[in-house]
Structure 1
C-alpha cells in the first residue's frame, strides 16, 4: 500500500525560557527563531517549516507565558490561545522541576479546547541524577492522564527523533503546502530585524533589553549584488538612545558589525548595513 503525505500545524507553548525557540530551530535545522538566556526573547509568533519525505508541518514558536502582561503582550497571548484552537498538535514544553499555577492553568485550557497535545520536559541534559525526575513526572501525571510525556534536550538534540516519530503518527493525511527547501514563511525583512534585535539584546545586557523597536525601512539588492539594508532603532527617550549609541558610538558600532556578519551568513551575500537610533 502506497504511503500518503501528512501535513499539519503544530504550536509550541510554555513559560519564558523553557527552550521553545531552541526546539523549533533544532527540528527545522535552521536558526530562524532567536534564542537567548534573557526572558521574553521571543516577542511574536514565528513559523518554521519541517519537511522530511512524506512528512511536513508548520511549527509555530509562541511568546512565553508569564505573570504580568502589557496591553501589547495581552494581544499576543490572545493570539496564542486562538492558535491553540486551530493547531493539529500542541507541544507543551516545560523545564525540569518547574510545575506551578501557570503550567496547571495552561494545561487545563489546552485540555478543554484541544486535547491533542504532547507534554515535553526539556533540558534533561542539565540533570545529573535522572532518578530525581520520577517524583516530578508522577506529580505532573496527576494532571496529564492518558498522555505521553517526552524527556528531551532541545539544545543537545537528545530524543528529538522519538518526538518526531510520535508527531508523524498524529498528523492528518494531507498534501504538503510548501516546497521541500522552504524553512519559514517569515519574510526576509522580518528575519533580518530579528537578527539585529538579538544582537542588540546581547550587547545591552540588562540595561535596556525590551524598550526598543527595530524597523527595516529599506532593503534592496544593489547593482554590485550587495544588499543595502537601512534599519532604524526606535527608543522611548533620550536616555535610552544614549545607552544604545554608547560612548562615542561604541555600542551601536558593535551592534552594526556583529549584525552585519550574521546577516551576511543568513543571506549568503555581502551587505551594506546602516543603523539609525531615533526617539519615538
Structure 2
C-alpha cells in the first residue's frame, strides 16, 4: 500500500480498569462499531483491532480486556492478553473514568506501565459527567504517580475532544506504511464481529447473574435464497440451566428480543438482510476449562 511522504502509522493500546469506556472511545475514534459496549464489567475478552485512516496516517487501535483481579482461567487469560499488548505497540492510552476515585486497579496498571518505554497518554474519560474544575485535582494526582507524554480529557460517549486526541496521537506515531486499505475499520473477520454483537445484546438485556457466563459461537454463515439475504446460525453458551432459562425468557421472549436487536446491528455491518437463528446451550463451568476456552477463541496462540 502506497503512502505519501511523512506518512505515519502505528499501533496503539487502550488499557484501563473494566468499564472505563475503552470500547466506546475506540468506536468513536474510528467512526464505526467494532467493539461491543455494555455497562457490565469485563465486556471485552479479546484484543480487538480498529483502524483509523486519514491523509496523514493510519492508527491501529487495540482495545484490551479491562485489567481486574482474575477469578477464573478466562479472567487470567484476559489480564495476560492486556499486559502482553503493552510491549507490542507504539503508544499506550491509559483510560480512566474521572467519576471514579483512583483505586487499586489503577495503581496496578501504573506499576505495569513503569516496565515499558512506550509513550503513555492519560485519557480522562466521561468529562461530560463532572464540572471542569473537578478535573484539575485528578490530573495533579495522576501526574505525581507517572510521567505521561500527554494528558487529554474526552467524552467518549459524546465525542467531545476525540478529534483533538486523534491529531495528537498522529504526532506520536512513527513514519511508516499504510497497513490496511483506507475503508477497512477492523482486521477481525465478520464471524467474530457478529458473535460479539450477539453477546453485546445478551449482556445488555439479561440480569447480573448471567453476563460473565455468556459466550457466543457463530456456527454457520450461509447465503439465503435471495442474493440480498444472509443466514446466520449462532449458539449462546451459559454455565447453568437457570441461566439458560433467563436468556430464553418466558415463552422465548428474551431470546427473541436479543435476536431482533442483534439482527439490526448485523444488517448494518453486512449491508444485507439477515435471518438470525439463535440457540442457547449449557456448557458447565466453561470459563475454567482451557479446552473450551480455546474452542470459543478466548486463548490466542502463543
Same fold (TM over 0.5): yes
- Of 247, 252, 257, 1:254 maps to 257
1:1-280, aligned counterparts within 5 Å?
3-96=5-98, 97-128=100-131, 130-145=132-147, 147-225=149-227, 226-280=229-283
CA distance in 2, matches of 1:127, 1:237: 40
Q: Would you say the 8 A contact 2:64–2:85 is kept in 1? A: no
Q: CA separation in 1, counterparts of 2:59 and 2:96?
A: 22
Q: How many residues align?
A: 278
Shift in Å at residue 94 of structure 1? 0.5
Distance in structure 1 (CA, Å) of the matches to 2:214 and 2:199: 9
Cα distance, 1:205 vs structure 2: 2.8
Q: Which ranges of structure 1 fall in alignment gaps of 5 or more residues?
A: none
Residues 28-73 of structure 1, C-alpha deviations (whole Å, 9 max, x = no match):
0001111112211212211101101121021011111123432222
- Give the superposed CA RMSD: 1.6
1:261 CA displacement: 1.9
Runs of 4+ residues over 6 Å off in structure 1: none
Q: Which moved more, 1:198-207 or 1:48-57?
A: 198-207
- The CA deviation string for residues 107-148 of structure 1, in whole angstroms up to 9 with x for no partner, is 2321322341111111111113x2122222111111123632
TM-score with structure 2 setting the length: 0.87
Q: TM-score, normalised by structure 1?
A: 0.94
Q: Distance in 1 between matches of 2:259 and 2:134?
A: 45
Distance 1:167 1:101 in 2: 27
Q: Distance in 1 between matches of 2:107 and 2:241?
A: 42
**TM-aligned CA deviation for residue 223 of structure 1:** 4.2
Q: Which segments of 5 or more consecutive residues in structure 2 lack a partner in the other structure?
A: 284-302
Alpha-carbon deviation of 1:222?
2.7
Q: Distance in 2 between matches of 1:192 and 1:17?
A: 21
**1:106 to partner: Cα distance:** 1.1
Q: Does the 8 Å contact 1:84/1:114 carry over to 2?
A: no
CA distance in 1, matches of 2:71, 2:169: 32
SS in 2 for 1:276: strand
| C-alpha deviation, 1:175, in angstroms | 0.8
Q: Is the 8 A contact 1:153 1:159 kept in 2?
A: yes
